Amino acid sequence: MQDPKMLHQKLLEKADAFGNLLPSLQSMLLQSSGGFRVQVFQGIDSMKTLYTHLLDSKTDFKAFLGADHIEPHFREYLYTIYLPKRLERKIKSKTIVSQSAANKHFAKTASPLTEARVLNFSVFDPTNEIILFDENKIVFANLTSSEMSGVLMESVNTYTTIEQIFDVLWMQAEPLLAPGGTGKQKK
């Protein structure tokens, strides 16, 4: 047993220490308000909420898509509910897909607001979806049957880095559905 007066004294010391630290913590918080923020989404209903956020975009999308791995029920949601809403809001999408059958099926759902390019991913193989929008927001979505989760990150630096990778790969890929396009990768 410890003397209650001693315990009280230790609590007062900890309160003083925290009080001294609090201004520093508040300062760090104020300085980091321009830094990145992250939201996590898990489960199919939560992922639908995440994709609803995308429909509020003020910019066009740039996306990597590995449609092979998307859980079939969620793929159905993307094609029959989410995609028509995106088209209705006139949000244009540039999407890089790999040369698989499922990804080519996605590209055939294209509209004047959806441009898809095919790339043979020998080094970079997206298994799900990465979407860039609003000049600082990135969605990393895992849409498989074993894991339905996503992260919405707000970071200018991360956005810029991924956008630069996207732009380089976009130039290397060939339009899948362009007039006279063969769907084959450029040499």
What pLDDT does 108 receive?
A: 64
Report CA 46 to chain centroid distance, whole Å: 14
> What is the three-class DSSP state of 138?
strand
Residues in CB range of 95: below 8 A, 6 or more apart? 61, 62, 63, 64, 65, 106, 107, 114, 115, 116, 117
pLDDT in tens, 14-45: 666 666 666 665 555 555 555 568 888 999 89
Specify the CATH class of 36-175 in words: alpha beta
86-94's contacts with Cβ under 8 Å and 24+ in sequence apart are 86/54, 86/55, 86/113, 87/111, 87/113, 87/114, 89/55, 91/54, 91/55, 91/57, 91/60, 91/61, 92/60, 92/61, 93/60, 93/61, 93/62, 93/63, 94/60, 94/61, 94/62, 94/63, 94/166, 94/170
Instruction: State both tokens at 61.
Output: 């999308």
- Looking at every residue in the chain, the average pLDDT score rounds to 77
Residue 117 main-chain phi, psi, to 5 deg? -125, 145
Spatial contact of 40 and 151, defined as CB atoms under 8 Å apart: yes
Tell me the C-alpha distance between 24 and 139, whole Å.
32
Instruction: State both tokens at 124.
Output: 């970079």
pLDDT in tens, 116-125: 887 776 655 5
Instruction: State both tokens at 141.
Output: 């979505």
Ordered by start, the domain boundaries in the chain are: 36-175
Angle ∠(54,178,138) on CA atoms, nearest 5: 20
Of residues 172 and 149, more confidently modeled:
149
Residue 146 has pLDDT above 50, yes or no: yes
Q: What is the mean pLDDT of residues 98-119?
A: 71
Which residues are paired to 132 by β-bridges? Answer: 62, 138
Spatial contact of 68 and 141, defined as CB atoms under 8 Å apart: no
pTM: 0.70
